[in-house]
Amino acid sequence: MGSLEGKRAIITGAASGIGRAAASLFAERGARLVLTDLNASGLEQTRAAICEREPGAQVHALAGDAADAAHVARVVSACAERYGAPNVFFANAGIGGMRGLFEESVDEWQRILRVNLLGPLVAIQSVAPVMAAAGGGSIVLTASVAGLRSGAGSSAYSASKAGVVSLAQTAACQLASQHIRVNAICPGLIETGMTKLLLDAARDAGKGDKIGKHNPMRRAAEPREIATMAAFLASDDSSFMTGQAVVVDGGMSATHPFTHGRVI
C-alpha cells in the first residue's frame, strides 16, 4: 500500500521533523527525490542518512527558501532535469507561532503567512504546469488541526493553516481537469523541532504526563505517522481523493477541549 515506485517527488522542509521522515519513507517506497530546506546542514544530513540506509536511493538536495518563487522554480527544474517532470510535490515547510492575538505584530503575521501559506501557493504555481504537461500528479500540503478550529495554535499560525486547507480545496477544483490532485494533511500534536521547546519544558516541569491530555490517545505523534499519510496521498492508492483536509491527530479534533485565556 502506498507504493511510490517510479514517482518523482519534491519535498520542502526536509531538514527535520515531518519533512525528514517523509523523505526517508518516500525513498523506502521507491520515489526519486529532490529535497529542499533553508537549513542546508540539516538537509544534507537527511540526504546522507537516506543514502546510507537505502543504497541506490536517488536523492538530490537543494537548499533554499520554499516561499521564494525563483528557488522553487529551480527545484522543479532540477527534478525535471534529473528524473523527469515531478509527479509528487509535498509542500511541507512551515514555521510556528506561540504568541497571543494582541502580541503577534503585523510583521510576525506576515512572516508566518509567507512561509505557511504563500509557500504552498508557490509550490502549486511552480509545479502544476509541469505536472499537467506530463499527465498529472499529486500535490500534498501540510496544514494543521489549528486550521480547523481554535485551541491548537496561535492566531497567526491557525489562520495560515486555515488558508492552506482552503488552498487545497480551491486548487483541487481548478486542477482536476489537468489530472492533478491536491490534498492537505492536518496533523495534531507532533514531536518535531517546532514543538521541542514546548514539550521539553513540560517534561522538565514534571508535566510530561500532561502531553496530549486533550487527545484520546494521550500522546504526541511521531513524524513518521504523518509521513505515512503523505505517502498515501502521494501514491496512486489515493487516486479518488482530492480537495480533502485529512486529519491525523489521535482523535483530538473529535473532542471539544476549551481553555479560557486572558486576551486583553
- At 198 the pLDDT is 58
Please return the burial class of 40, using the count of CB atoms within 10 Å of its CB with bins 0-12, 13-18 and 19+.
Answer: middle
Active site residue 83: no
**Residues 138/180, Cβ–Cβ less than 8 Å:** yes
- For the question of whether the overall pTM of this predicted structure is more than 0.85, the answer is yes
Between vectors from CA 11 to CA 64 and to CA 163, what angle results, nearest 5°? 90
pLDDT of 101 strictly over 90 = no
What percent of the chain has pLDDT above 90? 73
Phi, psi of 34 (to 5 degrees): -120, 120
pLDDT of 214 strictly over 70 = no
111 grid coordinates: 512572516
Region 191-200: mean pLDDT is 60
User: Which domains are seen in the chain, by residue range?
Assistant: 8-244 (3.40.50.720)
Region 175-185: mean pLDDT is 98
Give Cβ neighbours of residue 73 (< 8 Å, ≥ 6 apart): 126
- At 64 the pLDDT is 98
Question: What pLDDT band is residue 154 in, cutting at 50, 70 and 90?
Answer: confident
- At 197 the pLDDT is 58
- At 94 the pLDDT is 95
List the catalytic residue out of 26, 83, 89, 157: 157
